[in-house]
């Protein structure tokens, strides 16, 4: 492998980015994983051959392999959640999780105040909830857009952080822990991790192959998704390409052999009769139900186009007993139109049954070759078909 790899989900998330990144770090000469969007709401599941399992949120999914993680400036960092994640990794045998981590000083900080404000906002929506993860990431992004440089960042000195958190708490009108307690926790965090400036990513890229690990999915993108059921995050390749600054990279899109969604919003192919094992994705108190549907070729083709195209695909869940693909909708949906969400919610799928060669079918739909086939959650369950990925 002589180039970098950017991993992006071409669905609503949960397609298997974690297992793909873990496989890449186990088999390729990768020296770092760079996270380039999202925050603590990510949930990338990795299962090792010995049965150990971890849901990666802020640490990169290559951590079990000893591969370093860098949280770029596009990531919303939650030090409290990160500490809990590090403790779990340590219990699973990772000797020094924080020793494998670097954080850009410009990363926005998610705080308990953002969390409380975001949850209040979601509860106030009642039956019209958007499906928030309840982690305060969207509230953090919204606050930065409204208040600019007053938004707390990972590299803020204690005095500046105190001032910002005081203003933040008042502006959001929430309770939560005393500001002094938050400052103490965040400064302890800053002493445990290595804070770097934004030029650090350039050094990583020059040093050798890097995997850029995306969060969530293109169909949830803040621009290309289906408002209001979207994330406050750029889920396409855009952030990673900006960080690469012209360096070559292979763009890998990840898809399941069936389409899933966490929480409310369009899922044209949803089928309550589908019963497939899902050990790591369940109904959550904030995000809502984990929903299953047949492969939606229309939506996934749109996602690939919205992302600017892909060079190759990783197709997961090839061990699932599914054989149905939605090839079109019963009514036209123009994804460029502002009312696309309403149109999708009214659309019904038209299916092609009897799909058996999923790699060929999905390759035809997206217009890109399947480079990696996944028949289970472990790295050993993967089969690479592209020479540079073997």
Res. 32 pLDDT band, cuts 50 70 90: very high
Complete DSSP assignment for 300-359 = HHHHHHHTT--SEEEEE-TTS---EEEEEESS---TTSTTHHHHHHH--EEEEE----HH
> What are the chain's domains?
4-104+198-389 (3.40.440.10), 108-194 (1.10.300.10)
Give tens-digit pLDDT for 256-304: 999 999 989 999 999 999 999 888 877 777 677 899 999 999 999 999 9
Res 1 pLDDT > 60: no
- Sign of the CA dihedral running 18, 24, 25, 27: positive
Q: Which residue in the list 4, 44, 294, 300 is annotated as catalytic?
A: 44
Q: Would you say 244 is a known binding-site residue?
A: no
Strand partners, 259: 293
Q: Which residue in the list 14, 156, 221, 296 is annotated as catalytic?
A: 14
Q: Would you say 58 is a known binding-site residue?
A: no
Top-confidence residue, 19 or 1:
19
- What pLDDT score does 278 carry? 83
Strand partners, 189: none
Q: Would you say 219 is a known binding-site residue?
A: no
Task: Share the mean pLDDT of the chain.
Answer: 94
- What pLDDT score does 148 carry? 96
- What pLDDT score does 389 carry? 64
- What pLDDT score does 140 carry? 96
Give tens-digit pLDDT for 58-78: 999 999 999 999 999 999 999
Q: Would you say 70 is a known binding-site residue?
A: no
Q: What is the average per-residue pLDDT within 15-21?
A: 97
Res. 3 pLDDT band, cuts 50 70 90: confident
Q: Judge whether 31 counts as a catalytic residue.
A: no
Res 390 pLDDT > 70: no
Q: Would you say 14 is a known binding-site residue?
A: yes
Which residues, including other chains, have CB under 8 Å from residue 124's CB and lie 6 or more apart?
Answer: none
Report residue 293 as tokens: 């549907």
Q: Judge whether 44 counts as a catalytic residue.
A: yes
Give tens-digit pLDDT for 144-201: 999 999 999 999 999 999 999 999 999 999 999 999 999 999 999 999 999 999 999 9
Alpha-carbon gap, residue 252 to 370, rounded angstroms = 9
Q: What is the average per-residue pLDDT within 208-217?
A: 97
Which residues, including other chains, have CB under 8 Å from residue 29's CB and lie 6 or more apart?
Answer: 1, 208, 209
Give tens-digit pLDDT for 367-379: 999 999 999 999 9
Percent of the chain's residues with pLDDT above 90: 87
Give tens-digit pLDDT for 89-129: 999 999 999 999 999 999 999 999 999 998 998 888 888 87
């Amino acid at each position: 492998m002589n180039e970098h790899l950017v991993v992006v989900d071409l669905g609503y998330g949960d397609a298997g980015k974690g297992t793909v990144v873990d496989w890449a770090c186990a088999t390729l000469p990768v020296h770092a994983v760079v996270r380039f969007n999202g925050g603590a709401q990510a949930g990338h599941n990795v299962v090792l051959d010995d049965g150990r399992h971890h849901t990666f949120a802020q640490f990169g999914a290559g951590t079990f392999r000893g591969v370093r993680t860098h949280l770029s400036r596009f990531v919303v960092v939650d030090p409290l959640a990160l500490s809990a994640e590090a403790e779990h990794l340590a219990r699973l045998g990772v000797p020094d999780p924080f020793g494998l981590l670097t954080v850009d000083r410009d990363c926005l900080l998610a705080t308990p105040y953002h969390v409380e404000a975001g949850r209040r906002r979601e509860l106030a929506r009642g039956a019209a909830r958007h499906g928030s993860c309840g982690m305060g990431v969207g509230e953090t992004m919204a606050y930065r857009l409204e208040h600019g440089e007053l938004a707390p960042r990972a590299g803020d000195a204690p005095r500046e952080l105190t001032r910002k958190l005081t203003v933040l708490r008042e502006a959001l009108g929430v309770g939560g822990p005393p500001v002094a307690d938050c400052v103490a926790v965040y400064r302890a965090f800053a002493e445990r991790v290595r804070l770097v400036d934004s030029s650090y990513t350039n050094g990583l890229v020059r040093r050798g192959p890097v995997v850029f690990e995306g969060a969530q999915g293109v169909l949830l993108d803040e621009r290309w998704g289906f408002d209001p059921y979207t994330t406050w995050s750029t889920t396409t390749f855009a952030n990673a390409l900006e960080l690469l600054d012209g360096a070559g990279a292979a763009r890998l899109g990840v898809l399941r052999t069936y389409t899933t969604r966490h929480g409310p919003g369009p899922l044209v192919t949803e089928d309550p009769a589908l019963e497939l094992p899902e050990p790591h994705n369940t109904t959550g108190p904030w995000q809502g139900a984990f929903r299953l549907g047949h492969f939606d070729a229309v939506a996934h083709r749109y996602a690939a186009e919205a992302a600017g195209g892909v060079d190759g695909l990783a197709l997961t869940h090839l061990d699932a007993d599914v054989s149905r693909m939605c090839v079109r909708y019963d009514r036209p949906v123009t994804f460029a139109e502002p009312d696309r969400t309403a149109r999708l919610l009214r659309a019904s799928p038209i299916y092609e049954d009897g799909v058996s060669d999923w790699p060929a079918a999905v390759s035809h739909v997206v217009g890109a070759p399947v480079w990696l086939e996944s028949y289970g959650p472990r790295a050993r369950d993967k089969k690479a078909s592209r020479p540079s990925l073997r």
